[in-house]
Structure 1
Amino acid sequence: MEPLFEMGEDALMVVEEENDDSQRHKHLPDNVLKNIFKHLSYQDILRCHLACTHMHKYLSENVAEFARPQLDDLIIESVRDAGWLRQLRLEFKCMEINGTHACLKKTEFSENEEETFEPVSKLTPTFIKLLEDRCRWIVASGDVTFRYIYIDDDVLQHLMKFFESARGLFFTHCTIDVSEGRLRTLLALSKCVKFGLNESQFVQTVLNDHILDAMSHCDILELCWCKPRHLKQLTNRTLIRWGNQKRLPKKINLDGMCTEFTTSALVSFIKAFANEYREWLSAPIKAAKTLPVQWNLGEVVLTDNPYHLLQSIEGIEVRHCALILENREEYDLLPSWASHIADNTFVAIQFTTRHTNKHRHKPLCDNA
């Protein structure tokens, strides 16, 4: 297989046109070649492919041991073009961070004779083999995104080794049929600080404290409108761990989700923000200042009246309070409880509250 980037067919034809001087490269031992190539940049290695067929073959067989292009985005998705009623197309795309915007695509049509089109697709063995072959040539150091894909343990077993350098893992409209241990291993082995699931469904296991503990640091967590909606094992333990990080998460988005976070623990988490950004809060407000955090913490358990608790934190201004009925499904249509630290141009922290059988308190009101 040829290098993925910047070597076209015309360039590879040069490899076949060996002269007498290039024959001597065939006599170089592999250990000598390895010691040479491990010190070269990817651009230099790319040029070495043109030296002779022997060197091209050696570099192709051992590509994972040497410098490779760093990718900003690696996207694996299932799509359907307009007009295609029965065929399923899988695309593999990758884009370099620097240099030429080289985009690779592989299209495969499944033999699906059903009239209905399934929105989520399983990766076929042929496509998985393609991914393995392509991923050998790159380093997925940026975000890895799955769209409309059925993810199970077998898929992750084949692809996990290629995501060890990934900084972000995102799943959009996916079915996650993965064991808790496999998902923990994926987050632990990678350098993942960004984790997102959007309108996806869990089958075997649901996101919980134990899984998120595998992330060395959480910078971004997005979990929006997933099934099941109620994450019964996502508790204050995760909030405490986030609050004790060296840096607080920049973005948390639990839109449409329900956790076991409590209002008292949430206020403590907001206090951690007030302590970390004390100088930022006390400084004169500048319109051009960048948002330090943006948190939407979904629906939490009402244990104490957060209105009064938040008044004790300097810089807090409570704009509105509302209580969500426990079994109300259309809670997203109700006015939400929102607090704003400093000016709402800069920081927004939002969550809704609900009663449970364990915690019964008087309903909140705007004038609490």
Structure 2
Amino acid sequence: MVAFEHPHPHGALAPTAHLELPFFEDAHRALANGLVAWAREQRVDETDDRAACKDWVRRLGAAGWLRYCVPEAHGGALPALDSRALVILRETLAFHSPLADFAFAMQGLGSGAITLAGTPAQKAAYLPAVAAGEKIAAFALSEPEAGSDVAAMALRATPSAAGWELNGQKTWISNGGMADFYVTFAKTEPDAGARGISAFVVDADTAGLDSSAHIQVMAPHPLATLTFSGCTVAREALLGNANGGFKLAMQTLDIFRASVAAAALGMARRAFAEAVAHAKQRKMFGQTLGDFQLTQARLGEMGALIDAAAMLTYRAAWLRDRSSSCGAGTPAYTAAAAAAKLTATENAQKVIDMALQMFGGRGVQVGTVVEHLYRDIRSLRIYEGASEVQLLILGKHALKA
């Protein structure tokens, strides 16, 4: 698949009318317009997902879009991470190419913990390179027996004469096998549960780290299992406070959770655009598909599902950005981000399924836009907090109200 090629040029642009909503400011609108114009010119061969992701990182870095992943002091575009900017970027990129969105998102998620808790030396060593697209970042949290239950992780980090020795495995690691560094979470106090986890920055070429076990999934993305065998890192590799890794991981995920909703929203908008264009031109029984009331009703349902997801997504991003008193880490924001992630990913799955159904047999033809989206959207209901986890967050929030 070559990104951005589209059989209906009039429908190939990401919609921007929603940016007039009061959640956004003029700077956000300018960002979106510039990104759409840039996206129109890109042609990336995505046949090889790893080569494509490297290409996307290079392009996104050269064009300055990755500067929104890090703060201004370290090569970023804005004084601090801005959730609304991240939402706009991910929604727009996902509309055009889910793999482009993936490449962008992992630069932010993979370096986010360094932005939050890194020492001056760590920030200087990694963040400017991330912003420029010169280093590829990765976030290594999940394990074979520790996904949603993060506290069950078994990767062990023990003090050594040289610093820390890591032994164990991580899996489902995005950018695994191609990242330049991994923000890695390990148990430093094995019996302390979530309170015994620490974070480390591990360079990809560190002896004892094997990232060669690539994982193949239904929508090709660079994933791998990481094996740490006597992997020794310096004391300076510790990221943040010892045994403060769980909190740091949750803070990092909290920042980017609303942007996952935005990626789903972008995919849903693309499926909707494809469906509308198809309905207008597909001839059936002497009229177009769009002339049938059933088609109109289905398009109306798709539009409503997208609008509902959009409102929750933009609200969550706005809540985090509006002030320190109700930003990331507060119950109000955490619940808003959970509602956005849950609703946007679930609604996008429904919208894309409806779009595929509208295409009939063409919808399941490998290589078509809706077929590709149908596979791409599925993982968003799982990663960075499965839908079931978001429901639990919302339920607990309701009981505490």
Q: TM-score range by the shorter chain?
A: under 0.3
Report which of the two has the higher share of strand: 1
Determine which structure has greater relative contact order: mean sequence separation of CA pairs < 8 Å that are 6+ residues apart, divided by chain length. Answer: 2
